[in-house]
Amino acid sequence: MIQNYDAVIFDLDGVLVSTDECHYQAWKCLADRENIPFDRKVNERLRGVSRMESLEIILERAAKQYTPTEKVRMAEYKNQIYREKIEGLTPSDLLPGVALFLRYLREQGKRIAVGSSSKNTGRILEKIGLDKTFDAVADGNDITKSKPDPEVFLVAAKKLGLPSARCIVVEDAFSGIEAGKAAGMTTVGVGSAGQCPSADYRLVDLADERLYQLF
């Protein structure tokens, strides 16, 4: 097992905090309003995917065509509902093992960053008490191409001042694992990506002790 990486770049939704349920509920409100069939299976395809690309996936099942202006308004409507939902987040919403692993990395002198597709990353980090924790944050506001494009992780590594080969990416989305690999980084899949065949390591969550062996 390769050891002594210098940094860990964490995906946000599904890795540090479970905002995926808030995304699902907000998209569900929009889909119901528009009479578009939408379920948790479709929702799985939205992991790590940008807001507008998520909307396009949902609209695959729509009975009518929407104009670009209507699409922007629909995405804004979803985001408004989502923003209300994330206001209810607290530090107790951190996923299992997150607080302990972050403390361990700090003690080991490792650098830590966030690499998320979400444009709401700043507010979410504030709500879960991690807004002053990371050395770098790269999010949906920093990028033009969403996962599986490597852009968000390359921006995070650049902000850390480290080459890709020194970074590990932790992701819950298959698209995120592909993005990490395309960035030339070692990948750890957790949650849904704990089953991703192309991930270098597959774990249940950050409480898995095997994670600590990488540092």
Measured from the CB atom, the residue of 14 and 97 that comes closer to ligand B16 is 14
CB of 2 to Mg ion, least distance (A): 24
Residue 205 sits in the site that holds Mg ion (CB under 5 A) = no
Residue 84 contacts residue 19 (beta carbons within 8 Å): no
Segment 47 to 86, residues that bind Mg ion, using CB under 5 A: 48
Amino acid found at 1: M
Residue entry with tokens 């990416």: 169
d(CA 163, CA 151): 14
Residue choice 5, 10, 14, 74 for contact with Mg ion (CB under 5 A): 14
Q: Closest distance between Mg ion and the C-beta of residue 47, in Å?
A: 5
For residue 182, give the amino acid letter: A
Alpha helices for 1-95 (secondary structure H): 20-33, 40-44, 51-59, 68-86
Buried b or exposed e, range 21-35, using 16+ CB within 10 angstroms: ebbbebbbbbbeebe
Does 11 contact Mg ion by CB under 5 A?
A: yes
Nearer Cβ to ligand B16 (80/213)? 80
Catalytic residues: 11, 13
Work out how close the CB of 172 gets to Mg ion at its nearest, in angstroms, rounded to a whole number.
4
Q: Which is nearer to ligand B16, 72 or 213 (CB)?
A: 72
Stretch in the footprint of Mg ion (CB under 5 A) among 69-77, 129-137, 167-175, 207-215: 167-175
- The residue ranges of DSSP E strands in the chain, in sequence order, are 7-10, 111-115, 136-138, 167-171, 186-189, 201-202
Binding site residues, ligand B16, CB under 6 A: 11-14, 23, 46-51, 54, 79, 116-120, 140, 173
Rule CB under 5 A: is residue 139 a binding residue for Mg ion? no
Judged by the rule CB under 5 A, the positions of this chain that interact with Mg ion are 11, 13-14, 48, 172-173
